Chain A
Amino acid sequence: MTIDIGLDGKVVSEKGQVVATERTHRAASWLGLGRMISALLIALYAAFLLLPIAFLVSLTFKTRDEVLLGRFLTDKPTLENWWKAFQVIHLTDYVWHSVVIASLSAVVTLIVAAPATYAAVRLRHGAFLGSLALSSYVAPPVVALLPLFFLMRWLGLLNSFPGMILLYGIMNVPVAYWLLLGFLRKIPSALDEAAWIDGAGFFKTFLVIDLPLLAPGLVATGLICLILAYNEFLFASLFAQDDSVRGLTVAISLFQGDRFVNFGQMAVASLVGIAPIYVIALLFQDRLIGGLTAGSVK
């Protein structure tokens, strides 16, 4: 097909039909210009997001003297910080503690939240309990800090793995309930109704029909709760100080107050601490973004 562009700005095909007008041209140029500006601004913003992490990486290769120059690049990179950081603190232990506590607590969260979501959405009972859970999320966590400290001490759960797993497991229930609500509402209820008519019990329907369909949502929710637990600091700083359960965030907070620590080792510890979370982020990117946006947009 040949196309002529007339002097009036109209684009005319060989059959004489007007394909586009000047306005479309203007639209196209707006879009072209807009895209270039967008790309540029986004690139700048991405650089801003990467800057602190990139600076941490560059610090790990600097000697104490070179750190003080405050420059980004270094002339003679050294690997000394990397092996020294692991000697100065039991980094791998702390990361391991955090990983164990965070992943098991995510399982606890799902065991509590998933049946509740099903009862509220499908069985239409107890939605007010769900709303109560959601409104409890508004309260700052510091409200529960002292009461839970006395409760956990009374139960002998301070500085213990079961204590931290239960604590985080319960802490994240409102978030999980909210996310699962979004996921469950997207699954048609016709399958449940068919199962009920066929005489399947309500709980069995949940196990056999809804859980498998909900699996992607459960994975996304579980990962988000895992990350929230891994990142938590306030409760951990009071309930898990002991070296035997101490997680990464508490270890780093103590480490950074230490006068003998240099920036390079601090940066190594930070990067090693973030690594497990970033691996999850890269592997499950789509799931996580789907999960984060599940509750907010219906």
Chain B
Amino acid sequence: MTDKLFLKGRAGTVSRGATAWLMLLPLAAALVLFAVFPSIYVAALSFTKSTLGQPFRSWIGWANYYWLLGGGDRVFVPSLLRATIFAVVVSMVELALGLALAVRLTSLRRGGRLLRSVLLLPLMTPPVLVGVAWKLLLAPGGGLINGELLSLGLIAEPVSFLGTTPWALMSIMVADVWQWTPFVALLAYAALRQVPDDVVEAAWLDGAPPAAVFWKIQLPLTAHLLFAIFVLRLIMAFKIFDLVYILTFGGPGNATDMSGFTIWRTGLREFDVGRAAAQTVVFAVFVSVLLTPLLWLERRTEDHAA
């Protein structure tokens, strides 16, 4: 009914539908450029022998995929698994830490503003510089952590955190947790604020210990939002590249090779663009297969809560 009224409009005004499509045109163009075209192009490249200078040198069918999944490539499949472990671990740690921090924030009376400025800092630091800062902290010669451990007598000689397994992967995880826990904390804090104050205060007045307030009231009421935050972090964590590039460059050996970095190296260091494209396709399919059920679940819980 209202729709009809507006559709008539004043004589000479453009119809609702036409206006909408004109306004959506830039978005459509952006999607074609950034999503549709790259997907098709990379899929096509994956069936070719290609270099940076000469893409589409020759069509070679499924050869890149055979090489990739048939055991020819010993680095890529492990890098997929490593990226998955990395993404799941850091997202879970960040959710747990961020949530704990957010709960403490809700009971904080003073200093909230100052603390929020501190929380923003890691979140806004360019990942490249996060990498540099942690590299300097962890360095065997001149790094603060080795220096302090040595002077406390806890270690006899410097530990090469970035040059030995499993420390290297764990160091990348620590840097990632350092950067993104504040983000999770801010989102979780906003989620906790959705719980009506009087519900929480009533529980306090009844003498419920904080733990009970959290487990019985705050957590159940915000579970769907927290799950959404977890999925968002998982998506972001699969994109890990900068930290690997700066901190370990995939090493030692291939111990910190994660798919984003592996693809980059195949295409831009080994200059095998066709194989890099095949790796990209497998990576993209792998990530969507893994994340689609979670995204579906997220939408379900969201509808359920609303």
A residues with a Cβ closer than 8 A to B are: 23-24, 26-27, 30-31, 34-35, 38-39, 41-42, 45-46, 48-53, 55-56, 59, 67-72, 111-113, 115-116, 118-120, 123-126, 129-130, 132-133, 135-151, 170-171, 173, 177, 193, 196-197, 199, 201-203, 206, 227, 230-231, 233-234, 238, 248-249, 252-253, 256, 263, 266-267, 270, 273-274, 277-278, 280-282, 285, 288-289, 292-293, 296-297
* A143 and B101 in contact, given A234-B242, A266-B136, A267-B136 (Cβ under 8 angstroms): no
| A147–B206 CB distance below 8 A | no
Quick check: is B41 within 8 A (CB to CB) of the other chain?
Answer: yes
Shortest A14–chain B CB gap in Å is 22
| A201–B126 CB distance below 8 A | no
Q: What are 24 A-B contacts defined by CB distance under 8 Å?
A: A23-B206, A27-B204, A119-B23, A125-B21, A125-B24, A126-B21, A129-B31, A138-B287, A140-B238, A140-B260, A147-B38, A170-B34, A171-B34, A196-B9, A202-B14, A233-B126, A234-B264, A249-B128, A249-B129, A270-B129, A274-B125, A285-B120, A296-B228, A296-B232
Which chain B residue shows the least CB distance to A296?
B187
Quick check: is B26 within 8 A (CB to CB) of the other chain?
Answer: yes
B residues with a Cβ closer than 8 A to A are: 2, 5-6, 9-10, 13-14, 16-17, 19-24, 26-28, 30-31, 33-35, 37-39, 41-42, 45, 52, 55, 101, 104-105, 107-109, 111, 113, 115-122, 124-130, 132-137, 139, 141-148, 150-151, 178, 182-183, 186-187, 190-191, 193-194, 204-210, 225, 228-229, 232, 235, 238-239, 241-242, 245-246, 259-260, 263-264, 267-268, 273, 276-277, 280, 283-284, 287-288, 291, 295
Which chain A residue shows the least CB distance to B175?
A52
Shortest B168–chain A CB gap in Å is 17
CA separation between A27 and B149, bound complex, in Å?
A: 42
Which chain B residue shows the least CB distance to A227?
B124
* A201 and B264 in contact, given A69-B147, A70-B146, A249-B128 (Cβ under 8 angstroms): no
4 extra A-B contacts, CB within 8 A, seeds A233-B245, A252-B128: A136-B31, A199-B10, A266-B132, A292-B186
| B207–A27 CB distance below 8 A | yes
Chain A residues within 8 Å of B288, by CB? 138-139
| A140–B132 CB distance below 8 A | no
Chain B residues within 8 Å of A231, by CB? 124-128
| A116–B107 CB distance below 8 A | no
CA separation between A281 and B122, bound complex, in Å?
A: 11
| B9–A238 CB distance below 8 A | no
CA separation between A248 and B41, bound complex, in Å?
A: 30
CA separation between A67 and B147, bound complex, in Å?
A: 10
| A138–B291 CB distance below 8 A | yes
Chain B residues within 8 Å of A34, by CB? 107, 210
| B31–A132 CB distance below 8 A | yes
| A143–B126 CB distance below 8 A | no
* A202 and B178 in contact, given A49-B119, A170-B30 (Cβ under 8 angstroms): no
| A256–B132 CB distance below 8 A | yes
CA separation between A171 and B229, bound complex, in Å?
A: 21
Shortest B187–chain A CB gap in Å is 5
* A234 and B24 in contact, given A140-B284, A143-B38, A196-B9 (Cβ under 8 angstroms): no
| B38–A253 CB distance below 8 A | no
Shortest B300–chain A CB gap in Å is 16
Chain B residues within 8 Å of A227, by CB? 124
Shortest B262–chain A CB gap in Å is 9
Shortest B121–chain A CB gap in Å is 7
CA separation between A293 and B205, bound complex, in Å?
A: 30
Chain A residues within 8 Å of B280, by CB? 142-143, 146
Shortest A251–chain B CB gap in Å is 10
